[in-house]
Amino acid sequence: MSPRYPKPPEGSWTEHFGLDTGPVSYADSISPSFYERERQAIFRRAWLNVGRVEQLPKAGSYFTKELAVLNTSIVVVRGMDDEIRAFHNVCRHRGNKLVWNESPDEETQGFCRQFTCKYHAWRYGLDGSLTFIQQEDEFFDVDKSQLGLVSMHCEVWEGFVFVCAAREPEWSLREFLGPMITALEGYPFDRLTSRFGYRTEVRANWKLFMDAFAEFYHAPVLHSKQSPDKYAVAAREAGYEAPYYAVEGPHRLVSTSGVRFWEMDPGSLKPMEVMTRGGLFGPWDKADLGELPAGVNPGRCKPWGLDSFQLFPNFVILIWGQGWYLTYHYWPTSYNTHVFEGNVYFLPATNVRERIAQEMSAVTFKEFALQDANTLEATQLMLESGYVEKFPLNDQEVLLRHLHKVVGDWVEQHAGVPA
């Protein structure tokens, strides 16, 4: 079968990006010691997205984020000067966790004028400065100006709040993101504020779930039961090909072609999709977002379905042609566990009909994601058995190859650098 979409002159996307075509080792996904190296070489150096500015609507708004991969918890807060800052969530007196609600290991959010420690009531301003010590006279030579909260580098890009745990970041945030990602500037992320958030703990290495969402080769097979037989059979026979891939620095992109569900015969659709005019690709009635920046659909695919921008190391922005987007985060908690977060963003619905099309799209997203998640634990178990180490990846799996290569390169290059 000849390819549906033209391959690059080298004959494949894999070779086009200068990647090896041999089998790929998954030793990077089953080893506690390799995970320790990833933490130092990648997660302590890269800019990590921890949320969006809409979560911090006014001065005093804050949220906490548990970052097991950095062995810390942070509090992200909007100050009186509107500046967004990130601090290690630890009291300078005797180390109590400063901001938490019911349970100290659960994330929380809220609004306050200052932070007060639950232990001995030391108080901190929204800018992290220590403002009050209970019975200050009892202390020896304390200098409040030296005992503010310990900050973490924090920068905002297009409303996405990033932190960097390095003492001195090696790149500014925009440098780190690079031109492929910054070409998305101007996309109306700030208008798409109607959020459906999802979360789960997965018993698999973080890269395995990245892999699962970085290829669509699985789609006609793993998701075949999501569609009426008529569509499923046709999809499986056709197989899957993406029209466009791109790689830039540590980041990568796949675009897919669009499907005009509303032009399909009803036998290929779920009745509910027809009734709600919504589904996997989002609401059928496209949201009007005005002109989009050049970074969207850079391969100029027509019809265009979506762009999945995979930002190194653990953040995905997936922009849909129907005028909405979603994000994925994969937060490692050990070499074989991670927390997955998925967020679906739409324009705020203006009526119930729009709200239902969004609900249908969000519910469908979850039904698919549950299938995507199901293979991970089984894969992790068998990778850990160690009987097979290397696996053949095809050209539609080129982005997995790139992820594992970049992870390996970062870890390799960092080897020997003093911590």
Partner 1 sequence: MSALLPAEFAEFEEYAAHWCLPTETERFERRMASDMDEMGAFYAAFSARLDEAIEFCDKYPLDELPEDVQRLLQLIHSYVMVSMAVEIFHQPKVVDSADAVLRRVKEPRP
Q: Which residues bind ligand FES (CB under 6 A)?
A: 91, 93-94, 96, 117, 119-120, 122
Return the range that interacts with partner 1 (CB under 8 A); candidates 119-127, 212-220, 255-263, 336-344. 336-344
Least Å from the CB of residue 118 to ligand FES: 7
Q: Does 276 bind partner 1 (CB under 8 A)?
A: yes
Token pair recorded at residue 395: 């050209």
Least Å from the CB of residue 333 to partner 1: 15
Sequential DSSP letters for 81-116:
TS-EEEEESB-TTT--B-S-SSSTTS--EEE-SSEE
User: Residues in the chain, how many?
Assistant: 419
Least Å from the CB of residue 363 to partner 1: 6
Q: Which is nearer to ligand FES, 98 or 235 (CB)?
A: 98
Q: Which does 275 bind (CB under 5 to 8 A by kind): ligand FES, partner 1, Fe ion, none?
A: partner 1
Q: Which is nearer to partner 1, 344 or 407 (CB)?
A: 344
Least Å from the CB of residue 92 to ligand FES: 7
CA distance 415 to 412: 5
Q: How many CB atoms lie within 10 A of CB 296?
A: 19
The residues, ordered by sequence, that sit 6+ positions from 34 with a Cβ below 8 Å of its Cβ are: 27, 28, 335, 411
CA distance 276 to 285: 10
CB 320 within 8 A of CB 305: yes
Least Å from the CB of residue 13 to partner 1: 28
Q: Does 359 bind partner 1 (CB under 8 A)?
A: yes
Least Å from the CB of residue 340 to partner 1: 8
Return the range that interacts with partner 1 (CB under 8 A); candidates 32-40, 78-86, 174-182, 367-375. 367-375
Q: Which does 196 bind (CB under 5 to 8 A by kind): partner 1, Fe ion, ligand FES, none?
A: partner 1
Among 119, 132, 171, 198, binds partner 1 (CB under 8 A): 198
Q: Which does 195 bind (CB under 5 to 8 A by kind): partner 1, Fe ion, ligand FES, none?
A: partner 1
Among 236, 239, 348, 390, binds partner 1 (CB under 8 A): 348
Tell me the Ramachandran region of residue 128: left when phi exceeds 0, alpha when psi lies from -120 to 50, beta otherwise.
left
Q: List beta partners, residue 201.
A: 339
HSE of 324 in the Cβ direction (CA atoms, 13 Å)? 29
Least Å from the CB of residue 194 to partner 1: 5
Least Å from the CB of residue 276 to partner 1: 7
CA distance 225 to 219: 10
Among 77, 235, 369, 407, binds partner 1 (CB under 8 A): 369
Amino acid identity of residue 52, one-letter, is R
What would you measure as the largest C-alpha separation in the chain, in angstroms? 82
Q: Does 370 bind partner 1 (CB under 8 A)?
A: yes
Least Å from the CB of residue 219 to Fe ion: 6
String of contacts with partner 1 for each residue 374-393, x by CB under 8 A: x--xx---------------
Least Å from the CB of residue 96 to ligand FES: 4
Q: Does 371 bind partner 1 (CB under 8 A)?
A: yes
Q: Which does 373 bind (CB under 5 to 8 A by kind): Fe ion, ligand FES, partner 1, none?
A: partner 1
Sequential DSSP letters for 284-302:
SS-----SPPTTSSTT--S
Can you tell me which residue has the tokens 């990130």? 86
Q: Does 147 bind partner 1 (CB under 8 A)?
A: no
CA distance 5 to 239: 13
SS (H, E, C) 365-400: HHHHHHHHHHHHHHHHHHHHHCCCCEECCCHHHHHH
Applying the rule CB under 5 A, the residues between 364 and 383 that interact with Fe ion are: 372
Q: Which is nearer to partner 1, 16 or 218 (CB)?
A: 218
Residues 89-102 as b/e (b if ≥16 CB within 10 A, e otherwise) read bbbbbeebbbbbee
Sign of the Cα pseudo-torsion (225, 230, 233, 237, in order): negative
Q: Does 351 bind partner 1 (CB under 8 A)?
A: yes
Sign of the Cα pseudo-torsion (345, 337, 315, 62, in order): positive
Site of interaction with Fe ion (CB under 5 A):
372
Site of interaction with partner 1 (CB under 8 A):
194-200, 222, 225-228, 270-272, 275-276, 340, 342-343, 348-353, 355-356, 358-360, 362-364, 366-367, 369-371, 373-374, 377-378
